[in-house]
Amino acid sequence: MAEIRIEQVRKAYGANKVVHGVDLTFRSGEFVVILGPSGCGKSTLLRMIAGLEDISSGEIVIDDVVVNQLEPRERGCAMVFQNYALYPHMDVAANMGYALKVAGVPKDERDRRIKETARIVGLEDFLDRKPAQLSGGQRQRVAMGRAIIREPKVFLFDEPLSNLDAKLRVQMRVEIRRLHKRLSATSVFVTHDQVEAMTLADKLVVMYKGKVEQVGTPLEVYNKPRTRFVGSFIGSPAMNFLEGTFSADGANFVFDGIPIPVDPVIGKANAGRAAALGIRPEHARMVPVGTPGSIPATVDFIEELGAGRVIHSDINGSNFALSISDHVTGETGQSIALQLPFEHIHLFSHETDLRLDLAETTPVREKELVS
């Protein structure tokens, strides 16, 4: 078991700053997912933990030991990569046992651990196959076996499922979670896939442009996104945003001349100011056209998903998506009206993109947030 502390960690490649002072603490045994768009610095951060990349400034501490100067193999971390990185000329057993061989573990002990690991990852019958004779999912299992066999304190996963097809990805996700339950080593899993992140994480870290935007449980992050970016990045279809201004008395957010009632505490504190209103597609409601306070929209097209459907509509040139479970018939150009329930409205500052009722987000240590 291992606790990881990341303190004011920065990384620059020459003049290009890619990680801007990250503070995070991962508790022993926790499954942490780092989620963010491509290029936001996830792999760089993970590679700095592993020791595969130098740290420009700051400290990484594993179990109270500053590891900045330690070699990768001295850190007790095992990493699983997206491209598996298997040795093509070695069979499964040799691939899994390689690190033990290098470490001088005697052959009988090695064979015992290869067998045991193969059982855990479900590859007992494939030990003498070469990687080229395996499916993508089996190769990914070899890569995981190779990590497990070293009995690391920490597992680091860099988008390990991204090369698999959709069905296998879901299956491997379940297997990784099951494996974590069994081994309970601290795990840090990097992905750009929000569904993977929501389903795997005990603790979710959302990164954007080299900074941490929010830390919380998946539901905390979903229910109270700390920034407009987090609101827009998590959830599918994505959160809708309306640009407007709070009324002078603070009771409403006024969009296109339509007053939308909002939390008066937020409204009063921001009276007269411009802001963005966010609402998730599953939280907006369709009401009869002409209902007072409703927003008129026109149907663009309806996306049928089997279990539900998404109405893509247009409000004065902006897209607005609405998820519903009932069957509807509608056609392009049809007029509809939308209502935005008070309790599901998210309000973000126009200037900073921060949530306006920020005090209500998860009380993460200030240090864990953006520097």
Beta bridge partners, 275, equal 244, 349
Give the range of 31-39, 71-79, 81-89, 139-147 binding ligand ADP by CB under 6 A.
31-39
- Residues 21-80 within binding reach of Mg ion (CB under 5 A): 43
69 binds, among ligand ADP, Mg ion, none (CB under 5 to 8 A by kind): none
| Closest distance of CB 16 from ligand ADP, Å | 6
| Angle at alpha carbon of residue 13, lines to 12 and 15, rounded to 5° | 75
| Closest distance of CB 200 from ligand ADP, Å | 17
Crossing angle of helices 107-121 and 92-102, rounded to 10°: 130
Beta bridge partners, 26, equal 4
Contact 191, 206 (CB under 8 A): no
36 binds, among Mg ion, ligand ADP, none (CB under 5 to 8 A by kind): ligand ADP
| Closest distance of CB 205 from ligand ADP, Å | 12
Pull the structure tokens for residue 219. 């539901």
What number of residues does the chain have?
371
| Closest distance of CB 171 from Mg ion, Å | 23
18 binds, among Mg ion, ligand ADP, none (CB under 5 to 8 A by kind): ligand ADP
> CA distances (Å), 20 to each of 4, 25, 206, 226, in order?
18, 16, 14, 18
CB-based burial, 182-193: b 16+ in 10 Å, e otherwise: eeebbbbbbbbb
| Closest distance of CB 83 from ligand ADP, Å | 13
Q: Which of 3, 8, 10, 18 binds ligand ADP (CB under 6 A)?
A: 18
Residue 237 preceded by cis peptide, ω within 30? yes
Contact 32, 203 (CB under 8 A): yes
281 binds, among ligand ADP, Mg ion, none (CB under 5 to 8 A by kind): none
Give the per-residue contact string, 34-73, with ligand ADP (x = CB under 6 A; - = no).
Answer: --x-xxxxxxx-----------------------------
Beta bridge partners, 204, equal 33, 216
| Closest distance of CB 39 from ligand ADP, Å | 4
> Could you tell me which residues come within 8 angstroms of residue 262 by beta carbon, excluding any fewer than 6 positions away?
246, 251, 252, 253, 277, 342, 345, 347
Residue with Cβ nearer ligand ADP (4 or 40): 40
Residue with Cβ nearer ligand ADP (95 or 214): 214
In three-state form (DSSP H/G/I as H, E/B as E, the rest C), the secondary structure along 187-214 is: EEEEECCHHHHHHHCCEEEEEECCEEEE
Residue with Cβ nearer Mg ion (43 or 95): 43
Give the range of 32-40, 85-93, 113-121, 174-182 binding ligand ADP by CB under 6 A.
32-40
Residue with Cβ nearer Mg ion (43 or 361): 43
Residue with Cβ nearer ligand ADP (206 or 340): 206
Residue with Cβ nearer ligand ADP (189 or 255): 189
Distance CA 309, CA 338 (A): 16
| Closest distance of CB 46 from Mg ion, Å | 8
13 binds, among Mg ion, ligand ADP, none (CB under 5 to 8 A by kind): ligand ADP
Contact 135, 167 (CB under 8 A): no
| Closest distance of CB 84 from Mg ion, Å | 15
Pull the structure tokens for residue 209. 């442009």
Report the residue closest to Mg ion, judged by CB.
Answer: 43
294 binds, among Mg ion, ligand ADP, none (CB under 5 to 8 A by kind): none
270 binds, among ligand ADP, Mg ion, none (CB under 5 to 8 A by kind): none
Sheet holding 258-261, edge to edge: 258-261, 252-255, 240-246, 274-279, 346-349
Give the number of residues in contact with ligand ADP, rule: CB under 6 A. 11
| Closest distance of CB 365 from Mg ion, Å | 26
Element (H, E) at 172: helix 166-183
* Contact footprint for ligand ADP (CB under 6 A): 13, 16, 18, 36, 38-44
* Contact footprint for Mg ion (CB under 5 A): 43
